Amino acid sequence: HDDLKDRPLFITGESYAGHYVPAVSHRIWKANRDKEGPHIHLQRCLVMECVCGQPHAPRIKVSREKAHTVSLQRVAAAAA
């Protein structure tokens, strides 16, 4: 949507979002890096009380107190 194209995007979720928030965030980050399609201003992703464990999912240990500091650079580095 044109009126949202320059706004920052934050992807968040809980529980089963541990499966799809990292995957969706990484796909957007990768598309931005590779200049595929329109640029999406993805700022942060956050998953609380998550269920994860897929072998291909980025694994990042974060305490609840530090959850707000996880940036997409750390997600991307963990996925690389």
What distance in Å separates the CA atoms of residue 4 and residue 20, rounded to the nearest whole number?
A: 22
What distance in Å separates the CA atoms of residue 15 and residue 13, rounded to the nearest whole number?
A: 7
For residue 47, what pLDDT is reported?
A: 81
Q: What is the pTM of this model?
A: 0.61
What distance in Å separates the CA atoms of residue 37 and residue 33, rounded to the nearest whole number?
A: 11
For residue 64, what pLDDT is reported?
A: 52
**Both structure tokens of 38:** 């329109």
pLDDT tens-digit profile, the chain (80 residues): 788 888 999 998 888 788 788 888 889 999 999 999 999 999 988 887 766 555 555 555 555 555 545 555 555 555 55
Tokens 């200049």 locate to 35
